[in-house]
Structures are given as C-alpha cells and as structure tokens.
Amino acid sequence: MSPLLRPTLLALCLGLCLSPTLHAEETPAAEQPASDSAAAKDAEGGEDKSTDKPAEVPRVPLDERTSAEAGALERQLPQTEQQQLQAGDERFLALWKPANAAEATGVVILVPGADETADWPSVIGPLRTKLTNAGWSTLSLTLPDSPAAPLPTAILPQPIVVAPPVDTSAAASQEQDPASADKPAADAAAAPVAEPAPAAPPVDPAVRVFARIEAGIAYAEQQGAQSIVLLGHGDGAYWAALFLAEKKPTQVENLLTVAAHLPAGQQPPLEELIPGLKLATGDFFYKDQASDRSDAVKRLQASKRLAHPSYVQVALKALPGNNDAEQEQLYRRIRGWLDKQLPAKK
C-alpha cells in the first residue's frame, strides 16, 4: 500500500467508528424540543391557573348594635313581653307590659335615647315596669342605631405643579407638519371622559324612627288604648317631638320628655320644637347638670313667648351612686304629671 493512502484510510476508519456514537448523541437532542415544549405547556397551564382570581364573595352588612342588643333581650325577657312589630320593610323588638289594673288608663310609648335598648337600666327600663302599677300599660320601642356625626371636611394643601421645559425642536417640527400637531388634540377630544359615579344620597334617620313610632301607636290602638302618651329620653325626646310636629297624629295629645337632647346635625333646636307643639307637655330635666339646665331655660322662655297653655317643666335632682333612688324620683314625678293631666279611672 502506498504511504500516501495510509492517512486517508486511517481517517476513513475513524469516521466509520464514530458515526454510531454521534447518531446516538443526536437522537436525545432531537427529542429535547418535544419534551421542552410539553414542559413549557405545563408551565403555561400552571401560570394560567395561578393567575385565575377567586370569585369575589359579596360582603354581608353587619347587624346594627341595637339589633344585636335586642337579640340579647329576647333571650333574657319573658316571651309574653316581646312583640315583633313591622316598620316599613324591617321588623323590630318592642316590649309590652299591660297595666296592673282592671282597666288601663292608657298606653305610654317609651322612645329610648341614642343607642339605648328597649329595657335600658336608666329611665326606660324602670318606667316601663313601674308605670304599670299606676294603671298605665307601657310599650318600649327599639330605635335604629343613631347616625354618626358628620366629619369635618379636610383641607389639603394644593400641590405645586412645575411646568416641564419646552422642547423647541418639537415645536419646530410641529410648525413644519401641522397635521401631526393636530392629531394628539383630535385623539384627546375623541377619548371618552369617564363621569364620576353619583354619590349615594344620605339616609334620613327620621324615616326609620317615624316608622317605628307609627308601628307602636298602631299596636297601642290594637290593645284598645283610650289615651296614648309619647315619652322620650335623651335623643328619643327629640325624635318623639319631631314626629308629633311633622306627622301630627290625632291619637297622641300628650308628650313627656326626660333630659331632652338634640342629636348631632339635626334641626330645629329643641327650644323651637317642643314649645311649638302646643300639646300637653311635661318637660323633665336634671337641674344639677349645667347643660340640661341652660337648655331647659331656653325652652321655658320659648313657651312663655308662645303662651303655651299646658307646658310644664319639672326639675329633677341627680343622685349619683344611688340609681334606684334616682329612678324612683323620676317615676313619682312622671306619675304625678300623668295623674294631674290624665287621672286614672277608679
């Protein structure tokens, strides 16, 4: 064999020996894209699953605090005292106690103060029980939660706006090509402007309160009440007086107020509202409390200016630390006014 052919023959033999190995190594490489594509698909599928947002759960409104406390009263008090009255589209708890007499003089409807229950330990609870011994049936209402006082409007500092520098080159190009300068303005004019959503109208608390007082009056009439007296405590005195001023129910001719208080954000003031009713009114206040005393003076002066025929103020003495004596004092004063205005039948 020629010496020149030996290197060529040697290279040919090496090529034939290495070709199976190269083929075996290239086969997995060819299969690699398929496996990679499958893995990529799995990854894409997993990414899609992770980006799926869970369905939003509708938010359930919380129960009012007075409703929760009314539920507690339902578990504590006898079923015979509990009445579920209908006021518009809602039901509420009222506590009924018949008079301890052969024939009741009438019904006293008790309107609690702000966030008080129908059996509140001050004023409402003691009177609803004690007045039954004086020949009066009582019906104590549950009012909605008192509205929160409006927050003051926050005044924020105006942000400082810095004008960007003018690009003279862009201005020059716009002068050369006016069509391109008009295009952004046309696009801005064509873009729809999102209108802000209208604010929800505020709910007037008087609507719900009036509906409950009306339901109480209707229930008293069903019990054959010959006389109906509204008695309000704190904010409840304002709501009772406002109800009489706006609704003017013919069934109610007497009003009792205890420590009357004007709710935040409400009008008119009590010195205009209560004396202006021209109904038989017993205005009970605590003379030891400066705010109650000054407000009572305003109401008394207004009643004199209006020549109110049957407006009576009764001053009470606060007895801190002796709640039983304080509630007994209030009961005796209330009973004295009722006996004088609407004497019990013998």
In the chain, where the domains are located: 77-145+205-341
CA torsion through residues 172, 178, 183, 188, sign:
positive
**What CATH number does domain 77-145+205-341 carry, 3.40.50.300, 3.40.50.2300, 3.40.50.1820, 3.30.540.10?**
3.40.50.1820
Side chain identity, residue 143: L
- pLDDT, one tens digit for every residue, the chain (346 residues): 555 555 566 666 656 655 555 454 554 444 455 555 555 555 555 555 555 555 655 555 556 776 777 778 888 899 999 999 999 899 999 999 999 999 999 999 999 999 899 999 999 999 999 999 999 999 999 999 876 544 455 555 666 766 666 666 655 555 555 555 555 555 555 555 556 555 556 568 899 999 999 999 999 999 999 999 999 999 999 999 999 999 999 999 999 999 999 999 899 999 999 999 989 999 999 999 898 999 999 999 999 999 998 999 999 999 999 999 999 999 999 999 999 998 765 4
Q: Euclidean distance between the first and final Cα of the chain, in Å?
A: 153
Per-residue pLDDT at 197: 55
Per-residue pLDDT at 113: 95
Per-residue pLDDT at 300: 96
In order of 88, 295, 315, the CA distances from 291 in angstroms are 36, 6, 13
* Contact yes or no for 335/341 (Cβ under 8 A): no
Backbone angles phi, psi at 152, to 5 degrees: -65, 150
Specify burial of residue 300 (Cβ count, 10 A radius: 0-12, 13-18, 19+).
middle
